[in-house]
């Protein structure tokens, strides 16, 4: 009982003493006084060792997966490492009388046709209106309509890889080129007039000199 009372009184101190620090008790007028500093007539008190629990290692909690994600979910769509326009060349020129010209692109890895990927083209900001699935293709003449573009004009070509819903997966750097026409017009040469043909004399008229000059030979004396 006495030890329990002593422990309760020690627990009322402002702060617990550090490990190895002594506590002294002094008989006062009413009740004993406890202090960490020795006083005249004080005696040391040995306190029982405090209970110390060993740290418990808590296993890591796995992070919850995103909504709809599972181990059996399909892999993410492939990332195209390279996509560029090879032709027309940037700041170059092409000759096309009918405004139909070839476009060539480089794609790495290859287009995922099974996923509905394709190449979409814009010229001067206007979509061509056709999806291309090859690395080389022709711009159709229907794109220009009834009137061909003016000759020797500069145009801008944009290319992008899109999915089946038209979402852009990757864009290529745009190119600017000049569309030239090779139409040449020459004036039609008119035929030159041929010189008149003079008939040759026949029979006794052969003695006459050149009918074309109008001169006659003098008569012969007998």
Tens of pLDDT, residues 122-169: 999 999 989 999 999 999 888 888 877 888 889 999 999 999 999 999
Looking at residue 163, the DSSP 8-state letter turns out to be: -
Kindly report whether the global pTM for this prediction surpasses the value 0.75. no
| Residues 97 and 31 occupy one common structural domain | no
| CB within 8 Å of 100: residues ≥ 6 apart | 138, 139, 140, 141
32 in any annotated domain:
yes
pLDDT in tens, 73-107: 445 556 899 999 999 999 999 888 778 889 999 99
51 in any annotated domain:
no
Cα torsion angle, 130, 174, 125, 79, sign: positive
What pLDDT shows up at residue 20?
52
pLDDT band at 193 (very low <50, low <70, confident <90, very high): confident
* Cβ pair 217, 207 in contact under 8 A: yes
Spatial separation of the C-alpha atoms in residues 76 and 64, rounded to whole Å: 19
CATH of the domain at 154: 2.60.40.10
159 in any annotated domain:
yes
* Domain limits for position 29: 2-45
Spatial separation of the C-alpha atoms in residues 174 and 158, rounded to whole Å: 5
For residues 46 and 71, the model is more confident at 46
Q: Give the total number of structural domains in the chain.
A: 2
Spatial separation of the C-alpha atoms in residues 161 and 132, rounded to whole Å: 10
């Amino acid at each position: 009982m006495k030890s329990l009372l002593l422990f309760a009184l020690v627990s009322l101190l402002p702060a617990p003493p550090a490990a190895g620090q002594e506590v002294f008790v002094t008989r006062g007028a009413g009740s004993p006084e406890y202090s960490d500093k020795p006083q005249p007539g004080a005696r040391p008190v040995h306190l029982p060792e405090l209970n110390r629990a060993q740290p418990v290692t808590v296993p890591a909690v796995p992070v919850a997966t995103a909504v709809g994600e599972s181990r059996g979910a399909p892999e993410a769509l492939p990332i195209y490492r390279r996509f560029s326009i090879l032709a027309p060349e940037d700041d170059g020129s092409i000759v096309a009388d009918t405004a139909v010209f070839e476009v060539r692109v480089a794609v790495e890895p290859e287009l995922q046709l099974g996923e509905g990927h394709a190449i979409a083209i814009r010229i001067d900001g206007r979509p061509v209106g056709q999806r291309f699935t090859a690395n080389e293709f022709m711009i159709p003449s229907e794109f220009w309509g009834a009137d061909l573009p003016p000759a020797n004009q500069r145009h801008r070509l944009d290319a992008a890889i899109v999915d089946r819903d038209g979402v852009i997966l990757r864009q290529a750097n745009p190119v600017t080129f000049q569309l030239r026409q090779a139409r040449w017009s020459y004036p039609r040469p008119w035929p030159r007039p041929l010189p008149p043909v003079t008939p040759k004399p026949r029979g006794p008229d052969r003695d006459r000199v050149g009918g074309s000059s109008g001169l006659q030979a003098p008569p012969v004396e007998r």
